[in-house]
Amino acid sequence: MSTPRTEGSTEPRHEDRTTPQLPAPDGSSDPHQWLEEVEGEDALAWVRERNATAEQELDAVADPADPDGAPLAVTLQREIREILDAKDRIPGVTKRGQYLYNLWTDAEHERGLWRRTTLDSYRTDDPEWDVLLDVDALNAAEGEDWVWHGASLLRPAEGEPYRKALVSLSHGGSDADVTREFDLKTRSFVPEADGGFLRPAAKGSLSWIDEDTTWVSTDFGEGTTTLSGYPRQARLWKRGTALAEAELVFEADETDMSVFVAHDSTPGWERDWVIQMHAFYDTTLHLADLGQQPPALETIDVPRDLEASAHRDLGIFSPRSDWEVAGSVYPAGSLVVGDFAAFRAGEPELTMLFEPSESTSLADMTITRNTVVLSILEDVVHRLEVHTRDQDGAWVRQDLYPELRGSLAVSAVDPDENDEVWVTVTDFVEPTTLLLGDLAAVPAGGEPTEPELIKTAPARFDADGLEVTQHFATSDDGTRIPYFEIGRADRGDEPGAGPSPTLLYGYGGFEISLTPAYLGPIGKAWLERGGTYVLANIRGGGEYGPRWHQAALKDKRHRAYEDFSSVAKDLIERGVTDTAHLAVRGGSNGGLLTGNMLTQYPELFGAVIIQVPLLDMKRYSHLLAGNSWMAEYGDPDTEDWEYVRTFSPYHLLAEGTDYPPSFVLTSTRDDRVHPGHARKFTAALESLGADVRAWENIEGGHGGAATNEQAARMNALMYTFLWSTIGRNDA
């Protein structure tokens, strides 16, 4: 018999899986709050028990395609690991000086090699890589569990080679990380005793201004972080001084989300930015004049929901709501440019390079030395434009590489030096290719060079017979919701063909667009074995610009869930699948999405996967970075709770409901979305006698896995769960 507990108790106890243990619908009590103690002995014992149970169940599922009946999870883990570790992947690179830099992981280097090569060598099938840092060897030497978080290089004096770097590493993949100075010549970290920069573990950043000066935003002690757990101070840190003595330049309010700092080192156009982020989509932008003492800040006069930046003489403005300035109105989702000095002087000379329509949005923008390249989505299909100024300063537009098909990602090779661009082309079933183009002739009225094929990744799964189609479902309020379907074109012609096991994926939040990308492990573990995969472009995302995102904010959140369920219904109505063979998957905000599918639409699905999720929307703003998401969801400690409670899956659980089988996955090291969400939801489902299993990776951060091996194991368990539920013929 369970012992009585006080309201909202954090006291651990033995879980009773037979008597319903649910939070109060109004959020006034929480019987599982003790599971929020991330590293608590009782909580971790609870986690280990669930991990063992889930693994025992799923590892017992035989592979129907194996004549010997080998465990399906073992087969899938091997196949996925081979894809993740493949040595013929396209290495992503960043150019600095004469070298291209890359972080590479494979079976022998789980945590990665930081390395570099030349462009000429990169063009070859087998580039010669110069290894700068072996993270696995570093872990072995230091007895650590470092996960690579990136590196920034200090621009050297004219004619000198790059030598100094700031390398960020995190424990187990958490958001909090350490930044250490690294010497590219000696291939070693600069000891703190020798004046090397070292930022201790915290959420924040350290970035170069010059050889002896950095910008630092981090946890400086009590009162120096926001309620969201991010830095609220921007300081200048001089070499040879203590971090605590770094000069305070700006301090945000405790209720702000964070402060970000950046130095633009473009020769002749050096600038220092202090970005005061009040909340998502709500920032104040400051220019810092470090030539004054103390440094002076100039606030850029733009609306707080507008994104602004500058490149050389050009100011770049992206409004999220209609922007009225100098007698003109620029619509939300547009891209506006103009002379930055004139704008700061109160004499804006602006040009709109992109104006959205009902079917188009700006997916991305890339600036080279003399051009602006726009990636535009038209009903979630990419096309490219290049914009340049003629000799009179007027802007001229032309289509760029219209022959390219698929998802198109463009990035400048070196925006300070030239007009070369990397173009990455990908699709669901077509392997990724990397092209190199040069736009240098465009400003003078010429044509870009033909894109040079630099790299092509080989196929990772058998796509023969697969077809990619786009469809539109009608949501509850009549809105057309696009979605992509990938499956066998001839399935309906097969004798006795029944509903296809179908996995529906979505996100629907934070203005993030879901676009086609090569499916790799999904193709191997799901499509190749006969499954159908569906990607839904629901509201809350950015597929149609800010309006698509804003249509599902706060009290309108239900629209994202109506959209997603409408796609599910459309798949059933079109005969692609049926309820017993339809599953949903989502992570983070997408975990909140699939948590709502489980609680609000349980009759629609045969299985539900919930990854690194938000689920307790009463306490989310008090857990880790949750306070920073109130612009998306609302403040549950105010009257907002009246609508927030309508999409809080933890509080929507109810007795007498027949919930489909579910799999809840998270990470102990996730310091963005608290693992307590997944733990408490699982415990509540267990108390209802629901068919639920849970798996928590000890490492991994918000991504759920810190190494390819961990990612392969996690995905193998997940797809085994799907094949054992919706993949069964009798499902």
SS3 annotation, 376-428: EEECCEEEEEEEEECCCCCEEEEEECCCCCCEEEEEECCCCCCCEEEEEEECC
Active site residue 702: yes
Q: How far apart are CA 510 and CA 80, in angstroms?
A: 29
Q: Fill in the amino acid letter for 436.
A: L
Question: What is the three-class DSSP state of 230?
Answer: coil
Question: In the numeric block, which tokens belong to residue 199?
Answer: 């930022």
- Pairwise CA distance, residues 30 & 410, whole Å: 48
Pairing mode of beta strands 258-264, 271-279: antiparallel
Angle between helices 676-687 and 589-600 in degrees, nearest 10: 10
Question: How remote is the C-alpha of 385 from its chain's centroid?
Answer: 25
Task: Tell me 60's DSSP state.
Answer: T
d(CA 14, CA 73) in angstroms, rounded, equals: 31
- Write a three-state SS string for 62-127: ECCCCCCCCEHHHHHHHHHHHHHHCCCCCCCCEEECCEEEEEEEECCEEEEEEEEECHHHHCCCCC
Tell how far CA 197 is from the center of its chain: 29
φ and ψ of 470, to 5 deg: -115, 140
List strand residue ranges (DSSP E) for 620-708, in order. Answer: 662-667, 692-697
Q: Going by C-beta distance under 8 Å and a sequence separation of 6 or more, which residues neighbour residue 186?
A: none
List the catalytic residue out of 361, 565, 702, 724.
Answer: 702
Measure the CA–CA gap between 574 and 483, rounded to whole angstroms: 13
Taking the CA atoms of 705, 706, 709 and 710 in sequence, report the sign of the dihedral they define. Answer: negative
> Are the beta carbons of 701 and 707 closer than 8 angstroms?
no
Determine the Cα–Cα distance for residues 407 and 484; give it in Å rounded to an integer. Answer: 13
Marked catalytic residue, from 309, 500, 588, 687: 588
Strand order in the sheet with 130-134: 94-96, 99-106, 109-117, 130-134
Beta strand spans in 565-704 (E): 582-587, 607-611, 662-667, 692-697
- Which residues are catalytic, by number? 588, 702
